Structure 1
Amino acid sequence: MSLFRYSGLATKVRAMSGKLLKDEDFDQIGSLDSVPAVIAWLKRKPSYAQILGKEDENSLHRGQAEGLIMQSLLSDFRKLYRFSNLEQRAFLDGYFRRFEINCLKMLIRSLVSGRDTLSDLSEYEEIFSRHSAFPLGQAAAAQTMEGLISALQMTPYGNVLRRVSQSSSRRLFDYEFALDMFLFRNQWKRAKKDLKKEDRETILQSVGTQIDVLNLQWIYRAKKYYNMEATEIYAIIIPVHYRLKKEEVRAMAEAGSVPELMAAAARTKYGKYLEKESQPDLEKIGTQIEEAIHRTMLGRNPYSAACLDVYLYQKEREVHKVITAMECVRYGLPSDKIREYLS
């Protein structure tokens, strides 16, 4: 049944996957000497040609360039949406929350720092108007956090941000953590409630792994950089346990040092990823875990929502790496250092 429902879409995704950038492409980007050169190079790639083709790379400012590159992800989302049936579109509608929250985080960073947003959000208005009730124009026009919350009062994000603004801790981390908590709890509930069995198991694996990775990384940062107590750490953990058992989370949160934390992490289901590194870094290993799980998902269930979830994950990673590489080129970093940042 799933083969019948997904055969056409899986074929479409395979064709689009063939246009994703390879490691050697990023090596070429890292060897370029300016941002205009990066844009000119991207113009020759099928997945960016339509977005960037008519642009003058020498006159684009940083925010415009990043906004256009992000548009390639949204453009691919739109292609998949047009090709999907009603059931598959229901999954994509839930996935679009990621884009809403990414834009919202950019706006919050701008308000907290007092600087303009790096990306030009006006580039996203068309697709947001088609796929979302998120008031992007009103939100982008907000000059204060109160104004942003007011613009979002008819969305679930208004209450999420209001609770943070009325609390005793109103750092950027607090706002972003609250949004991540909302996103992953929402996606976990939607997957359990709205998806059919084959899709539900696959998407729960994806979302569950991302939750586990975030919890691992937040515990690691809390111990390494802030020396937080266990009671403080429990407050920043997403209360969903996929492969990380409650007692394993407790052992890591209550560890007396970073080496003790890493020893506890090595005893979890994710310990095999730590064994591969002489000096394991949970920041980088988190990406390795997510990439391995997504490869497994697609291999086991190619005719399911996995084909959508995995492609969008890969494209999102690609866009992030392109923007990171472009920023490294802008600062004149050597190619080997850029490769290190992208690994």
Structure 2
Amino acid sequence: MMGSVARFGGLNTKLQAIYGKMLSQDDYENLIALDSVVEVARYLKENTYYSDVLDEVIVEDVHRGDLEHILKTKLIKVMESLIHFTSGPYKDFMKAMFARYEVEDLKLILRAITKGDDPRKIENLFLHSVDYSYLNYDLLTKSKTLNNLRDNLKGSIYQDAFRNLTEEDLSMREFHLEMNLDAIYFGNLIKKTKALSGEDEAILDELIGVNIDLVNLQWVYRAKKYYGLIPEEILNYTLSGGKNFGFSKLKTIVYNDDPRSEIEASLPKKYRELLTEEDIYLERKIYQFLYERFKEFDKNSRLNISKLVAVIHFMEYEIRDIISITEAIRYEVEDIKEFLIRSFD
């Protein structure tokens, strides 16, 4: 108990303060009532805790992509403030969480190379934490070809994503490389949980495992329905480490001619409703499910890692909702709430 108090006492106080500053239901209602991205940016700047990252921004010049990037920099800043309350394997775990944004940066670099663009021209879009990065970005942004990028990633956790790929493969393998990068991120995250306390490892095993399950189900369903990939290829790019869907279950689903019925038949009851909606809502339902799981863990948390991972994900989902609101405003969607992760009373 004393170890838990020392480890989480100050951190949980900080997390509670952050949670208390997040958007209220009134904020959501006010944002939904606005008419443009500029108005959304102005509201966030003048009324919310995003004001610090918008302080020097001229909101009249803000576009949807700009706003998303700015808000995500807020999440990075919050995570950087939280890592100071951790040490040892807990700090290592936090660094592994930062790697998610490195993966997104690598995907941007990969797409730039695919298009023949100079990766240095997209540096303003990067999201990684400068203080907690595994990578040498000065070197990576000088990559002109896939071979350059692969060579510049040697010695990093990401090098295996590019193993055995050639320049000729790039146009058809870009998506596959992105899947490989996601697999490396989750694999590294799971690896870092093994050094935590037994209770915290069990909590993360549940949360990460459920996340991987849902990523895999979404991938299998869409790959079968829309991409026309052969079963072996679909299975090859599923992620390992799922909580309820191991390789055997995924294989059964992938080789079934009707993946929806097979998924529904093998789903635990708590997952089943995810596939009862139209396809357009699938991703939103998955994030809603994860949001509710994080809420349950946070509600029951004491002095363990639950609140840390919950608050980080709450903020991530909040940002997703803000961007969904701007998209809905742009396309004049009537019932914006149908596309949000956060539910309303």
Q: Same fold (TM over 0.5)?
A: yes
Task: Report how far residue 75 of structure 1 moved.
Answer: 0.8
Return the match for 2:340 from 325, 339, 342: 342
Alignment correspondent of 2:104: 102
Task: Report how far residue 61 of structure 1 moved.
Answer: 5.5
Alignment correspondent of 2:45: 43
Task: Report how far residue 236 of structure 1 moved.
Answer: 1.7
User: SS where residue 334 of structure 1 aligns?
Assistant: coil
For residues 243 and 224 of structure 1, the distance between their equivalents in structure 2, rounded to whole angstroms, comes to: 22
CA contact (8 A) 2:179 2:237 kept: yes
Question: What are the superposed Cα offsets for residues 30-70 of structure 1, whole Å, 9 maximum, x if unpaired?
Answer: 33222222211110244211111122112345554333221
Matched, 1:268 2:302: no
* 2:135 partner amino acid: F
Return the match for 1:29 from 28, 31, 36: 31
CA contact (8 A) 2:223 2:234 kept: yes
Alignment correspondent of 1:314: 314
CA contact (8 A) 2:32 2:325 kept: yes
User: SS where residue 129 of structure 1 aligns?
Assistant: coil
Alignment correspondent of 1:238: 239
Return the match for 2:189 from 187, 190, 195: 187
* 2:267 partner amino acid: T
CA contact (8 A) 1:219 1:233 kept: yes
What percentage of aligned pairs have identical amino acids?
26
Task: Report how far residue 24 of structure 1 moved.
Answer: 4.3
CA contact (8 A) 1:31 1:335 kept: no
* 1:310 partner amino acid: A
- How is 1:43-192 mapped onto 2 (pairs within 5 angstroms)? 43-60=45-62, 64-113=66-115, 121-122=123-124, 128-165=129-166, 168=169, 170-192=172-194
Alignment correspondent of 1:256: 257
Worse-matched range after superposition: 303-312 or 133-142: 133-142
Worse-matched range after superposition: 91-100 or 300-309: 300-309
For residues 83 and 151 of structure 2, the distance between their equivalents in structure 1, rounded to whole angstroms, comes to: 30
* 2:334 partner amino acid: D
- How is 1:220-235 mapped onto 2 (pairs within 5 angstroms)? 220-235=221-236
| Count of residues in correspondence between the two structures | 335
Task: Report how far residue 182 of structure 1 moved.
Answer: 0.9
Task: Report how far residue 201 of structure 1 moved.
Answer: 0.8
Per the alignment, do residues 22 and 248 of structure 1 end up closer, same or farther by CA in structure 2, a change over 3 Å counting?
A: farther
User: SS where residue 176 of structure 1 aligns?
Assistant: helix
Matched, 1:199 2:200: yes
Task: Report how far residue 255 of structure 1 moved.
Answer: 1.8
Alignment correspondent of 1:302: 302
For residues 48 and 283 of structure 2, the distance between their equivalents in structure 1, rounded to whole angstroms, comes to: 32
CA contact (8 A) 1:68 1:123 kept: no
For residues 108 and 163 of structure 1, the distance between their equivalents in structure 2, rounded to whole angstroms, comes to: 16
Question: What are the superposed Cα offsets for residues 207-256 of structure 1, whole Å, 9 maximum, x if unpaired?
Answer: 11111111111111122213444333321222334222444323322222
Worse-matched range after superposition: 273-282 or 79-88: 273-282
CA contact (8 A) 1:274 1:280 kept: no
Alignment correspondent of 1:292: 292
For residues 161 and 249 of structure 1, the distance between their equivalents in structure 2, rounded to whole angstroms, comes to: 24
Task: Report how far residue 261 of structure 1 moved.
Answer: 2.4
Question: What are the superposed Cα offsets for residues 126-165 of structure 1, whole Å, 9 maximum, x if unpaired?
Answer: x733112312344345444344334333422234234444
CA contact (8 A) 1:220 1:261 kept: no
Task: Report how far residue 191 of structure 1 moved.
Answer: 1.2
Task: Report how far residue 18 of structure 1 moved.
Answer: 1.5
CA contact (8 A) 1:63 1:120 kept: no
For residues 280 and 272 of structure 1, the distance between their equivalents in structure 2, rounded to whole angstroms, comes to: 18
- How is 1:325-336 mapped onto 2 (pairs within 5 angstroms)? 325-329=325-329, 332-336=330-334
Q: Which has the higher contact order (CA 8 A, sep 6+)?
A: 1
User: SS where residue 100 of structure 2 aligns?
Assistant: helix
* 1:190 partner amino acid: K
CA contact (8 A) 1:67 1:120 kept: no
Alignment correspondent of 2:22: 20
CA contact (8 A) 2:93 2:189 kept: no
* 1:106 partner amino acid: L
Q: RMSD between aligned alpha carbons?
A: 3.0
Per the alignment, do residues 138 and 181 of structure 1 end up closer, same or farther by CA in structure 2, a change over 3 Å counting?
A: same
User: SS where residue 21 of structure 1 aligns?
Assistant: coil
* 1:216 partner amino acid: L
Task: Report how far residue 278 of structure 1 moved.
Answer: 4.5
CA contact (8 A) 1:294 1:310 kept: yes
For residues 325 and 171 of structure 1, the distance between their equivalents in structure 2, rounded to whole angstroms, comes to: 33
User: SS where residue 47 of structure 1 aligns?
Assistant: coil
Per the alignment, do residues 256 and 124 of structure 1 end up closer, same or farther by CA in structure 2, a change over 3 Å counting?
A: closer
